[in-house]
Structure 1
Amino acid sequence: MGGRVVIRTLHEGWTVTAVSSTGQPRPVVAGLPATVPGCVHTDLLDAGVIPDPYLDDNENRLRWIGRTDWSYETAFDWTDPGDDRADLVCEGLDTAATVILNGVQIGQTANQHRVYRFPARHLLREGKNTLKVLFEAPYGYAEKQRAALGDRPGAYGEPYQFIRKMACNFGWDWGPTVVTSGIWRPIYLETWSSARLAEVRPLVTLDGRDGKVRVHITVDRAAQAPLNVTASVAGVEDRVRLAPGERTAVITLTVPEPDLWWPRGHGEQALYTLTVTAGDSVWTREIGFRSVVLEREAFRLVVNGQPVFMKGFNWIPDDCFPNRVTRERVAERFQQAVDTGANTLRVWGGGLYESEDFYAQADALGVLVWQDFPFACAAYPEEGPFRAEVEAEARQQVTRLSSHPSLVLWCGNNENIEGHADWGWQDTLDGRSWGAGFYFDLLPAIVAELDPTRPYWPGSPYSGSPDAPPNDPSRGTTHIWTVWNREDYTFYGTYTPRFVAEFGFQGPPAFATLRRAVSDEPLTPTSKGVMHHQKALDGNEKLLRGLGDHLPQPRNFDDWHYYTQLNQAHAMAFGVERFRSLMPYCMGTIVWQLNDCWPVTSWAAVDGDGRRKPLWYALRRSFADRLVTFQNPETVAVVNDTSDEWETELSVVRLTVQGGELARERFPVRLAPRSAMTVPLPASMTPGDPSKELVSASVGDLRALRFFTSDLPQAAYDVTTEQLSDGVRVEITARTLVRDLALFPDRLDPAAAVDDMLVTLLPGETATFVVTGKDLGPEALTAYPVLRCVNE
């Protein structure tokens, strides 16, 4: 027998009070209404106590919040239902907290990444009950740990490695310093009798064409009676009977020839509902049948026996206050990712283990998830409470995520192995621990024990051996930051990597996003608010330097905004296409980054208000299944990342900038599935006058253009517009060469968007754009600075 399991959320009636702070001047906050799940920043913002930390430089005046202790309190009525047990479950407390029920301390926490469960039956009483959660100031907690364990180096002068909390809360080179406290995920009472399912860990594999699920089950028991446990999937069911005192079982289900779960672009995403019951306790999840192997020497992921070129984005927390990231927002970000042609998201190690909504979206859409354990850009202590916390969180999260077919790789950390090897950490560590015991021993042991169906990789970048240079492009994963920091973007062409897990180039957010966040008058590239929303070291200088000989130097803010956004798009398209042209030697290109957590100039393709930057449109072309690209003046690369052979003809034409044909060559092209080839160009394609010529390479509707100069003749074109029910159709016909045509309708209506961007037209060609939005007068929509091209 198993009794009912009832969950009662405790999300109503909360107040928040500032208890004490470490010498920080602050407003009086006492008994303020609070939202749960939530955090103190959003509660203070909702109450009008603080300004929006995302606007102007308000962030600077809110540092006191992270140095203040906070008390969250509520009261609730309770009637004894007669169940054997009642647990208080805290799915997310941020971070160092003491939980007090009816005046009695019931538990303490020190980890944002863990779920905590506290027996509460003995403290609950009929009628009114009180619940208080006291949060120690994150800075105070982290600084105490640092003092006790000894300082450790990190990329930033903040103590984020001394508290198991989202590291980027402490500021990053794209994020603000907004150090939160609060009840950030659900909190509830769970009452039950007899038994409850404490843990279900399905390990899904393929045995030939059959699917196999080994369901590892742990139950909590309040009564020592025999207990039936059942598991079922795809019409297959089995059960075990647990004797009194037994808590664990393994049920193996074999499903004959199930439909397989495939990565996006390789097949369908078949999902099956797995249900496990123990008495009245029920657990249910969607699972998918697929195999995953990492060929470690080449760093090549193989799914269901097929090598997969992983193309996509790094993912950071989509908001500094993650309780604001709704299911709808997650779905919107995923759609923005897959609409570029991406098949991979890497959950970066300075953030979180993401929500169930995140992994469910990945499962449904066929997006491969690379999951970093949350360690990033610092030496982490292994002593004191940290090892126990890391082990507990890793065990819990590996178990929690084991059902998701989209999760294909666990990775130990972001850039910590590289930091220890190459960033001078060893001198300052003086022999103290830095996290190696986690990345090379503890975490791989936990993954091997709890989820051997998935590969583990110690960190990124990492070359496959602790003794090898960690960022060697020829082995394992590499991060390429030479380009953004020092080199012209054509320097990507000097790399022949196995797998690029991080590389990026900055650009500002959409105009409407920047204008909402910054009240500067006038708005300039170096005005106070614009500079506050540029967190990268020498970021604006690198933006201008990066224009190089590719684009003109800007005359004003509008030029700066367009040219730097455009240059970001050019740079990343060049890099992505370089690495894709090396398939199958190179099998991954993961752009830094998809999204932002606030409105900022950054490496993102989608800005902090969810608007697509020009980079997004460029990547939609560069991630396409089939691609034609110039890699240098002597060659054209053709890529076929589909399951079908591609037999076609490549046409290469040398043209004058006025459109006159100087030479034409045709090449038969036959590409096997999932392959690339390079076509050498004959001498006839060498420009006679580089300042007045270009080369075009095309296969069907796919085209690549190679320019030899940025000094192009002035553009001339004809524009017609047609009013639509929800926007405007804009048709542009070129009378001359028109390079990188773009419309920025958000300058007229912040809700407006355009379906395409960065279109280059040869004389006589026409492009059609559909703009959705209001207040889009044709005159303003087709004039500077809304309608732009490089050679305007």
Structure 2
Amino acid sequence: MTDPRPEPVSLSSSPFLQSLGGSWQLTSSVSEAWRFRRLHKETSQPVGAFARTNWIPARVPGSVHDDLIRAGLITDPNFGLSSLDAEWVSARQWVYRRTFRVELPPGTRLFLCFGGVDYSADVYLKGQQLGSLAGTHTPGRFDVSGLDRETDHLLVVVLHEPPPEAGQLGRTSQTGTLKPRSGYWWDFGTRLVHVGLWRDVSLQTDAGTAVLDAFPRVTLTEDHAQAEVQVEVELDGDLGLPVTAELIHPDGRREITAGVRPVFMLTAPALWWPAAMGAQPLYTLRAWVPGSAPVERTFGVRRAALVRNDASRARGALPYTLEINGQPMYVRGFNVVPSDLIAGRDGVPERERALVGYALDAHANLLRFNGVGPIASSAVLDECDRCGLLVWQEMPLTSSGTDNVPPRGEAFLANLERDLPALVRAVRHHPSVVLLCAGNELTDEHHVPVNGSDPTVARIRTIVDHLDGTRPFLPTSPSGPEYDLSTDTASQRPQDLHDVHGPWHYRGAVDSYLPHTLNRSLAHSEFGCQAASRESTLRRYLTSGPLWPMDDRNPQVVHHGEWWLMHHRIEEVYGPVEDVSRYVLLTQAAQGDVLRHALGCNRARRDECSLALVWQLNEPWPNAHNTSVIDYDLKPKLAYYRCREANAPVAIHLGLPAPVGEGSLTACPQVLADRPGAGQLAVSLRTVTGMTLLDDRSTVSWPAPGRPIDLPLPEDPCLLRAELHSADGKVLARAEQWIARHVPQPFATLARLPQTTLEAHQVAAGLVVRNTGDWAAPWISLEAAMGVREKFSDNGFALLPGEHRVVQAALHVPDAGSVPVGMTLRSLNAPPVTLDWSGA
């Protein structure tokens, strides 16, 4: 008997698929000048009064901006003020063209298929309009069964001007589409409205019926002993035709069945777990009908739910505790924005996978893909499936400055009905996607977060449940009744803090910390603090003038992050700062301290608070200041390491209300850990010359509240440290914080310490850093050369006189060879140290 299983499919080798991606041509058009020039009908133009059309090379899938950059017609918008000179791109229509010949064998039907166009287009074949495309993520399919296989055919796609959506400051109620608004200008990026033929184009043939999609709907029994996998297929053609389905188990075993709705029964299924909770075995489903291309989906067997904890139940709140396979978990992680405003750039999937790796290495277990941007890409979701990083996916609907009311107009609802199903289909088979949400920061007219009774949210929920229904759904985040975390609400109405957002801005040595200290929220799904990017990133991209001053007197500093200027705040805390290097280091130190404090305060309340997500992991455009913890060049800021420290399986929360106090300060060090344990906790307080002011040692077990320790505050700032050791002396966790008296510019002395000296040398994969001077070296910063992705075991730490630290380094060098990699160490009061790192 002939084996009915088809071979794995690729666009380059399938007998049913022919890729039309690759090299195209592109030109611009003001309004419908393309029609006047007959660009949709003719491949050549005669010499005459009108200039002939200038075509440039284009790539499909791709982006118009990327094609223009490669053709030298616009300067890369990442640099200086150049994005201002690229805003015209979205004010044009764009014409893509190519010729092709059908290379597929004859079949009953032939279709021209588009994976998605951003945002809408008309499609012409041999001068005749086939139809229209619309929706950033919505595929299109045109019947071209009569095409002659012996001749070349002209294919033209005319992109319309993108819809006129608002940037961050507008009216959500007037939103007309599900095109992501992040490119219309947001606080983390410039205005760069994306346009392009950004998904695959192909020819597909079949014998009369085709499988358009296949969804493995998994039902897992409570005891995890069995799972049912219903194969839900969407057919075009004979809807009653039996479908053949093959299931490939994680261990390679195969089974096959057929039917109108095939079903597989799994005994003792291999369960998919989040990272650090278990393995991530993946099953593969392939479904096909005779004479058509199979559809392949990878999935995992797991059950995701949101449940109430005691605090949520007592407040009558929504459930916020995520449960996977019946196991509750404390969620910690990051909000994620697009990895690049130009989706078609080379290397975007690699950037996305690198960010997933950074998040996982920082002990994150969930990423929230905020409704500001597009849904997570297949590259991201495949990587999250593989490594066990969970995903909270919001629909691309978001807040605005004037109102946040979900749109209810007929045009929007029609676009919702057309475009939302494709978004759900794109994510529903991924086991990493454990939570769906209608959108970001949606409220009523009174700024109260919406609930499921809002008609637009209810419609979104109906569509999601019809197409999926296997994972929990939230109406929005924050989900109220209070929108923001504020000191007043935390003090007066803590019961109203359910799922809250904010704060985001650095506001000095007290107000940056106090809301987090008082916080009683059940879920803290967005909060942040800003800092400047790495100095190397600033010098690479801020090319339209001098870097200094880093405030609103500098046009390009304003252009690259006008919401996040903080020079004045830094000087309130550290005194006058007059050079870029010191300024960058101080902003990054401040950001790291605030985020670590916020994460620790939330995690210390894990019986009450179910999740804490930092805003934000990354940025899609090189900012001078931003709330990201990894800058555009994939260089982690010092805050990245403080987040990793606070989220580690074993961490120390210092339990300070703020880093300043009146004469004395009370710390309450607490061990925060995923599993119970015991050890020795050493708490010390040292001056900038290394003199010991306090040395407290105790045996601790956890989980348990911390023990208050009174800290004297001398005239100058001093270093509070806590180290946790196991019974055999191994360091389990560290934390340190500079503290000072609550006076104007409390850390000015620290920012003006006398010079010290640093020495560093490599030992295997470790870097030994030593302070050989007489003064403390605060916030020692390590950075590998530009273009090298780096992960250090620690960064941004202090060394007192005579101390040393061994830092492990893992470097990723594109096109790595035997050439050593340059590395630089710096501190506030030490000359930079450079060395060559070998064996990278």
Q: TM-score range by the shorter chain?
A: 0.7 to 0.9
Q: Distance in 1 between matches of 2:714 and 2:151?
A: 89
How far residue 723 of structure 1 moved from its aligned partner, in angstroms, is 6.4
Partner of 1:149: none
1:438 to 456, 475, 482: 456
Q: Distance in 2 between matches of 1:781 and 1:271?
A: 46
Unaligned ranges ≥5, structure 2:
7-13, 34-50, 309-317, 486-493, 657-664, 726-730, 741-746, 812-818, 835-840
Q: Distance in 2 between matches of 1:785 and 1:657?
A: 18
Q: Distance in 2 between matches of 1:271 and 1:79?
A: 35
Contact conserved, 1:742 with 1:787, CA < 8 A, in 2? no
How far residue 272 of structure 1 moved from its aligned partner, in angstroms, is 2.2
Q: Distance in 1 between matches of 2:696 and 2:225?
A: 51
Q: Secondary structure at the match of 2:621?
A: coil
Q: Tell me the C-alpha RMSD between the 2 structures.
A: 3.5
Q: Distance in 1 between matches of 2:677 and 2:756?
A: 36
Q: Secondary structure at the match of 1:168?
A: coil
Q: Distance in 1 between matches of 2:561 and 2:234?
A: 48
Going from structure 1 to structure 2, the CA distance change for 1:736 and 1:211 (only over 3 Å counts) comes to: farther
Going from structure 1 to structure 2, the CA distance change for 1:721 and 1:781 (only over 3 Å counts) comes to: farther
How far residue 721 of structure 1 moved from its aligned partner, in angstroms, is 3.7
Q: Secondary structure at the match of 2:340?
A: coil
Deviations 1:435-483 (A, max 9, x none): 94221x11111222222220000001113xxxx3444775542101264
Matched-pair identity in %: 25
Amino acid at match of 2:17: I
Partner of 1:634: 666
Q: Distance in 2 between matches of 1:415 and 1:421?
A: 13
How far residue 345 of structure 1 moved from its aligned partner, in angstroms, is 0.7
| 1:194-273 pair list within 5 angstroms | 194-207=208-221, 208-220=223-235, 222=237, 227-234=242-249, 235=253, 237=255, 239-242=257-260, 249=261, 251-273=262-284
Contact conserved, 2:336 with 2:618, CA < 8 A, in 1? yes
Deviations 1:235-267 (A, max 9, x none): 47463434xxxxxx2x33221222321111222
Q: Secondary structure at the match of 1:570?
A: helix
Contact conserved, 2:825 with 2:832, CA < 8 A, in 1? no
How far residue 113 of structure 1 moved from its aligned partner, in angstroms, is 2.0
1:277 to 284, 288, 299: 288
Partner of 1:337: 359
Q: Distance in 2 between matches of 1:193 and 1:219?
A: 16
Equivalenced residues, count: 742
Which one is further off, 163-172 or 357-366? 163-172
Contact conserved, 2:767 with 2:806, CA < 8 A, in 1? no
Q: Distance in 2 between matches of 1:406 and 1:187?
A: 28
Contact conserved, 2:392 with 2:434, CA < 8 A, in 1? yes
Query: Is residue 2:611 matched to residue 1:565?
Result: no
Query: Is residue 2:682 matched to residue 1:651?
Result: yes
Q: Distance in 2 between matches of 1:780 and 1:237?
A: 59
| 1:342-381 pair list within 5 angstroms | 342-378=364-400, 379-381=405-407
Deviations 1:368-422 (A, max 9, x none): 100010001244533333213212322222223221111000011111227x432
Q: Distance in 2 between matches of 1:355 and 1:326?
A: 10
Q: Secondary structure at the match of 1:189?
A: strand
Q: Distance in 2 between matches of 1:103 and 1:174?
A: 42
Contact conserved, 1:236 with 1:253, CA < 8 A, in 2? no
Partner of 2:511: 488
How far residue 543 of structure 1 moved from its aligned partner, in angstroms, is 4.6
Query: Is residue 2:735 matched to residue 1:704?
Result: yes
1:396 to 404, 418, 422: 422
Going from structure 1 to structure 2, the CA distance change for 1:729 and 1:156 (only over 3 Å counts) comes to: farther
Q: Distance in 2 between matches of 1:778 and 1:257?
A: 52
Contact conserved, 1:5 with 1:193, CA < 8 A, in 2? no
Q: Distance in 1 between matches of 2:497 and 2:695?
A: 40
Partner of 1:768: 806
Deviations 1:738-766 (A, max 9, x none): 322223454xx564857332112344421
How far residue 194 of structure 1 moved from its aligned partner, in angstroms, is 3.5
Partner of 1:417: 443
Contact conserved, 1:142 with 1:160, CA < 8 A, in 2? no
Deviations 1:303-335 (A, max 9, x none): 112211111111111111112254322221111
Which one is further off, 4-13 or 349-358? 4-13
Q: Secondary structure at the match of 1:322?
A: coil
Q: Distance in 2 between matches of 1:160 and 1:607?
A: 32
Query: Is residue 2:607 matched to residue 1:584?
Result: yes
| 1:251-330 pair list within 5 angstroms | 251-279=262-290, 281-295=293-307, 297-324=318-345, 325-330=347-352
Amino acid at match of 1:786: P
Q: Distance in 2 between matches of 1:634 and 1:779?
A: 33
Amino acid at match of 1:584: D
Q: Secondary structure at the match of 2:465?
A: helix
Query: Is residue 2:500 matched to residue 1:458?
Result: no
Deviations 1:35-58 (A, max 9, x none): 111121111111111111111111
Q: Secondary structure at the match of 2:297?
A: strand
Deviations 1:547-579 (A, max 9, x none): 643x34312222222211221112211211111
Amino acid at match of 1:765: E
Q: Distance in 1 between matches of 2:228 and 2:55?
A: 50
Q: Distance in 1 between matches of 2:825 and 2:181?
A: 47
Deviations 1:150-199 (A, max 9, x none): xx996248999334322111111111111232100111111111432122
TM-score, structure 1 as length reference = 0.85
Q: Distance in 2 between matches of 1:692 and 1:166?
A: 46
Which one is further off, 444-453 or 153-162? 153-162
2:714 to 668, 677, 689: 689
Contact conserved, 1:193 with 1:222, CA < 8 A, in 2? no
Amino acid at match of 1:739: P
How far residue 615 of structure 1 moved from its aligned partner, in angstroms, is 1.5
Amino acid at match of 2:832: V
Unaligned ranges ≥5, structure 1:
144-151, 243-248, 427-433
Q: Secondary structure at the match of 1:132?
A: strand
1:7 to 9, 17, 21: 17
Q: Distance in 2 between matches of 1:58 and 1:239?
A: 57
Contact conserved, 1:14 with 1:33, CA < 8 A, in 2? yes
Going from structure 1 to structure 2, the CA distance change for 1:210 and 1:101 (only over 3 Å counts) comes to: farther
Which one is further off, 279-288 or 95-104? 279-288
| 1:653-732 pair list within 5 angstroms | 653-671=684-702, 676-682=703-709, 685-687=710-712, 689=714, 691=716, 694-700=719-725, 701=731, 702-709=733-740, 710=747, 711-712=749-750, 714=753, 719-722=758-761, 730-732=769-771
Going from structure 1 to structure 2, the CA distance change for 1:259 and 1:751 (only over 3 Å counts) comes to: closer
Deviations 1:58-98 (A, max 9, x none): 11122211111111111111257221111111111011211
Amino acid at match of 1:638: Q
| 1:58-137 pair list within 5 angstroms | 58-78=82-102, 81-122=105-146, 126-137=150-161
Q: Distance in 1 between matches of 2:174 and 2:85?
A: 20
Which one is further off, 696-705 or 312-321? 696-705
Q: Distance in 2 between matches of 1:705 and 1:782?
A: 17
Q: Distance in 2 between matches of 1:659 and 1:209?
A: 57
Q: Distance in 1 between matches of 2:767 and 2:672?
A: 35
Contact conserved, 2:484 with 2:503, CA < 8 A, in 1? no
Q: Secondary structure at the match of 2:654?
A: strand
Query: Is residue 2:624 matched to residue 1:603?
Result: no
Amino acid at match of 1:286: T
Q: Secondary structure at the match of 2:371?
A: coil
Q: Distance in 2 between matches of 1:226 and 1:192?
A: 13
Partner of 1:245: none
How far residue 533 of structure 1 moved from its aligned partner, in angstroms, is 4.1
Partner of 1:56: 80
Contact conserved, 2:243 with 2:287, CA < 8 A, in 1? no
Which one is further off, 298-307 or 727-736? 727-736
Deviations 1:713-747 (A, max 9, x none): 9366554343689997644456443322223454x
Contact conserved, 2:246 with 2:286, CA < 8 A, in 1? yes
